[in-house]
Copies of this chain bind each other. A is one copy, B any other.
């Protein structure tokens, strides 16, 4: 990995941070931050703030989102991004942002809390949209950082649609409005629990879902729960699926987690001819190729020899954990290299 200059704002996995410290040269700042499913977004927004702030000195920002079980050096998945201020194909609309925080421990309430957070963030984002009343016609894609796409995205998308309808009566036709009439007397709390309302919303929102959500679902569906990286894997799916048609689009991202902390924020996509064009990002990511190149391995019941065989499956240049010594120092191998690499040395 070589970069012109580096600043590391690493999220979630201190092991990744340690590896990076060794690989990156130059001045670095920032710190690994251990947090739950919202943590990657917190790190990303910190990074954007840094680039926008007075202390920015032209270096890149780097955010890595991983869900790590550090002891086993088992990284469930990861995603990363650079943040730069020039020639950006992905522009943060920093004023168009809405956040919500609540403390949730009780698992039974978690679905309702998710919906409450989504509504709250959407409401705040709408309030920050100064020129016009914000509604579904103002964004082209909705990216949901759902941990479990099947369980959560449908109702959450329904709620978004519902809220956009409540706020912007122009965005649906008369027939649809009529279908919502029986639920107009429900309180907000009651609306979260109403299965009938969910069904009506689901039906009315089908075309919205197909156009604005479905293109973001490829990687989350193929790879499964990726915790904090889920949102960015969904965004990568969108770039992969539609990179030729995204110029000028607005993408609304919704990040939820850390029981419960959430932010909805807006991105503008621009096509340009620089190194970081949307097409070249799609080409470098090679989402399709990587999904095809996967091997299915079940780790349970493997003997040592079989475990060793897994190394053959790694791509050249991949780092892997070799051992942890009595001082908890980790030693890594690199596919294709001999010898070990000790962290921080």
When the two chains form their complex, are residues B329 and A27 in contact, meaning their CB atoms are under 8 A apart?
A: no
When the two chains form their complex, are residues A42 and B31 in contact, meaning their CB atoms are under 8 A apart?
A: yes
Q: At the interface, yes or no: A104 with Cβ under 8 Å from chain B?
A: yes
Interface residues on chain A, number (Cβ under 8 Å) = 50
The answer for the CA separation of A181 and B345 in the assembled complex, in Å, is 32
The answer for the CA separation of A28 and B121 in the assembled complex, in Å, is 11
Count of identical protomers in the assembly: 2
When the two chains form their complex, are residues A29 and B343 in contact, meaning their CB atoms are under 8 A apart?
A: no
Query: What 1/0 flags go to A4-40 for Cβ under 8 Å of B?
Result: 0000100000000010011000011111111100110
* Chain B CB within 10 A, most for which of A22, A99, A263: A99
Q: At the interface, yes or no: A208 with Cβ under 8 Å from chain B?
A: no
> In the complex, how many angstroms separate the beta carbon of A39 from the nearest chain B beta carbon?
7
**Within 8 Å CB of A105, what residues of B?**
327-329, 343-344
Q: At the interface, yes or no: A95 with Cβ under 8 Å from chain B?
A: yes
> In the complex, how many angstroms separate the beta carbon of A166 from the nearest chain B beta carbon?
19
When the two chains form their complex, are residues B55 and A94 in contact, meaning their CB atoms are under 8 A apart?
A: yes
Q: At the interface, yes or no: A313 with Cβ under 8 Å from chain B?
A: no
Which parts of A89-118 form the interface with B (CB within 8 Å)? 92, 94-95, 97-106
Q: Quick check: which of A44-52, A145-153, A199-207, A292-300 contacts chain B, the rest being far away? A: A44-52
Which parts of A57-80 form the interface with B (CB within 8 Å)? 57
When the two chains form their complex, are residues B94 and A29 in contact, meaning their CB atoms are under 8 A apart?
A: no
**Within 8 Å CB of A48, what residues of B?**
53, 55
Q: At the interface, yes or no: A164 with Cβ under 8 Å from chain B?
A: no
Contact partner of A104 (CB less than 8 A), chosen from B95, B106, B344, is: B344
Query: What 1/0 flags go to A99-142 for Cβ under 8 Å of B?
Result: 11111111000000000000000001000100000000000000
Q: At the interface, yes or no: A54 with Cβ under 8 Å from chain B?
A: yes
When the two chains form their complex, are residues B34 and A35 in contact, meaning their CB atoms are under 8 A apart?
A: yes
> In the complex, how many angstroms separate the beta carbon of A344 from the nearest chain B beta carbon?
3
**Within 8 Å CB of A128, what residues of B?**
57
With A35-B32, A105-B328, A327-B105 known as contacts, the answer to whether A124 contacts B18 (CB < 8 A) is no
The answer for the CA separation of A328 and B100 in the assembled complex, in Å, is 22
**Within 8 Å CB of A277, what residues of B?**
none
With A31-B42, A35-B33, A42-B33 known as contacts, the answer to whether A18 contacts B49 (CB < 8 A) is no
With A28-B99, A52-B52, A54-B95 known as contacts, the answer to whether A327 contacts B106 (CB < 8 A) is yes
A and B contact pairs by CB, cutoff 8 A, 26 listed: A8-B101, A27-B124, A28-B101, A29-B99, A31-B39, A31-B42, A32-B35, A33-B33, A33-B34, A33-B42, A45-B50, A45-B55, A46-B46, A46-B50, A49-B55, A50-B53, A52-B52, A52-B53, A52-B55, A53-B53, A57-B128, A103-B343, A103-B344, A105-B343, A106-B327, A106-B329
Known: A28-B99, A105-B343. 9 other contacts (CB 8 A): A22-B103, A28-B100, A29-B45, A31-B38, A32-B35, A46-B49, A103-B343, A105-B328, A105-B344
Q: Interface residues, chain A, CB within 8 Å of chain B?
A: 8, 18, 21-22, 27-35, 38-39, 42, 45-46, 48-50, 52-55, 57, 92, 94-95, 97-106, 124, 128, 258, 261, 263, 327-329, 343-345
